[in-house]
């Protein structure tokens, strides 16, 4: 019983990991966001971020990559439904892109405050 539940959970996690891998392979934006995250992580080590700064940075990286994953998922689904120009697909895609923009702007503000106060 527990073994079956555990097997199901492991399968779900492996599907989710496949989703993360495909998002990184498919999306140019995701690669850029990952590169930006790597730069901030290196800056964090060099500038010796405090634990609360690491928490803020981790939350921001998670927020941006999650928003990007949802945006990519929505684009995939929308393109599967129809590749014709449709007003509701445009609106849905624009809103999903807006979510990434909001997350990225938040991350930029947090990074600027944390890194900026060192100088």
Ligand X SMILES: Nc1ncnc2c1ncn2[C@@H]1O[C@H](COP(=O)(O)OP(=O)(O)OP(=O)(O)O)[C@@H](O)[C@H]1O
The 3 state secondary structure assigned to 57-89 is HHHHHHHHHHHHHHHHHHHHHHHHHCCCCCHHH
Considering only residues 23, 60, 65, 89, which one is a binding residue for ligand X as defined by CB under 6 A? 89
Please give the Cα distance from 70 to 76 (Å, whole number).
Answer: 10
63/89 with CB nearer ligand X: 89
85 φ/ψ angles, rounded to the nearest 5 degrees: -70, 120
Cα torsion through 101, 105, 108, 113, rounded to 10 = -170
Smallest gap from Cβ 99 to ligand X, in A, equals 10
What does each C-alpha distance from 64 to 87, 102, 110 come to in angstroms?
26, 9, 12
Of 27-66, which residues contact ligand X (CB under 6 A)? 29
Of 94-113, which residues contact ligand X (CB under 6 A)? 94, 97
- Residues touching ligand X, count (CB under 6 A): 10
Of 15-34, which residues contact ligand X (CB under 6 A)? 29
By CB under 6 A, residue 71 contacts ligand X: yes
Residue linked to tokens 């634990």: 51
CB nearest ligand X: which residue?
90
Smallest gap from Cβ 102 to ligand X, in A, equals 13
The contact set with ligand X (CB under 6 A) reads: 29, 71, 75, 85-86, 89-90, 93-94, 97
């Amino acid at each position: 019983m527990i073994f079956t539940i555990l097997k199901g959970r492991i399968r779900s996690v492996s599907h989710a990991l496949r989703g993360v891998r495909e998002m990184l392979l498919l999306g140019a934006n995701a690669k850029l966001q990952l590169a930006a995250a790597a730069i901030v992580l290196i800056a964090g080590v060099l500038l010796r971020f405090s634990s609360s700064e690491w928490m803020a940075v981790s939350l921001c990286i998670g927020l941006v990559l999650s928003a990007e994953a949802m945006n990519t998922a929505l684009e995939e689904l929308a393109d599967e439904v129809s590749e014709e120009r449709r007003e509701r697909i445009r609106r849905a895609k624009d809103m999903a892109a807006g979510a990434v923009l909001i997350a990225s702007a938040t991350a930029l503000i947090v990074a600027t405050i944390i890194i900026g106060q060192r100088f």
